[in-house]
Amino acid sequence: MGLIEKLCDAYGPAGREHGVRAIIEQEVKGSCADIQTDRLGNLICRKGPAKGGGEKIMLCAHMDEIGVIVTYIDKKGFLRFSNIGGVFPARILHQRVLFENGTIGVIGIEPDQDRAKPAAKPKLDLMYIDVGARGQEEAQKFVQIGDIACFYQQAVRIGDGRMSAKALDDRIGCYCMIEAMKRVGKTDHDLYFVFSTQEEMGLRGARTGAYAIEPAYALAIDVTDTGDTPEAHKMQVELGRGVAIKVKDSSFIANPAIKDRLVELARDRAIPYQFEILEKGTTDAAIIQLVKEGVMSGVLSIPTRYIHSTNEVCDLKDVQATIDLLVRACEKGLG
């Protein structure tokens, strides 16, 4: 199993990122000068001059993924649940979920009460999880109220150089940071690679991480939507056209100097890139830029189809372009 598959398949819903953190820490321990885990669970890896100095740059990708939390167990042993992060009901029906203790369940839904009416969009409050229990008492041997599950799917390579997996958002960003950390040679810049927690619950880890580091510059590395599927919302981003340099999303406007610097670095090495304007959604950069007196921030995005589903899809050429540009930014700086 490759590192991308290992990261994507790992259990790690928001607030329960420890398994993913352990994989990353094992992978990068020989590639940085210092590794710390803060109180919110962020993994912070520093690389740069022994005494610091130069530009202080924060690179950030989140470890967590969306999931569900058990709220009620009925007499027949079916579990009612609520969402952890942005769960879209239409994308999870009849999918499997995985609890931390290894219990697997299948998501079902109550039948329409009035068959004469057109089928409504599925709603979470009509859904349940079937863990194969024969009643409430048996179900409670497997799960308890408050237990959290992620979606259960195996990462696979599809087509020519593309990948389908759950949690590409944002394990593929974590992978890009790991690979960049390994490749960055001697640098005069003070680099902080932050693998953040609870992004899906409000960018929480990025806020505390940036507050502690006080960077001058920051880049978030995350996925973004595409407009290249049939009848898709019109958006310029496509799979296979390179790393997406964010201009704006629903909560963030890229610092123009950082955006222009990223374009300059990409053109200098003929790294394929495209511009991203995301009308719905945001990244850790939205909160990093607001910490203390402010941080000059940008975003590198990996184009990804079917975000927040159990089968997200990306192109590994775009992943490589993201790594290449991230390495250049780390070596040459953003100022």
Catalytic residue (choose from 17, 27, 199, 312): 199
Compute the Cα dihedral for 83, 88, 93, 98 and give only its sign.
negative
CA angle 264–270–272, rounded 5-degree value? 90
Give the DSSP per-residue string, 10-71: S--BTT--HHHHHHHHHHHTTSSSEEEE-TT--EEEEES-TT--S-EEEEEEE--B-EEEEE
137 is catalytic: no
Q: Please answer whether residues 170 and 199 qualify as being in contact, where contact means their C-beta atoms are separated by less than 8 angstroms.
A: yes
Could you say which DSSP state residue 167 is in?
Answer: T
Residues near 64 by beta carbon (within 8 Å), at least 6 away in sequence: 12, 13, 14, 15, 16, 17, 20, 85, 196, 197, 198, 199, 200, 201, 205
Structure-token match 């005494």, residue found: 51
Active site residues: 199
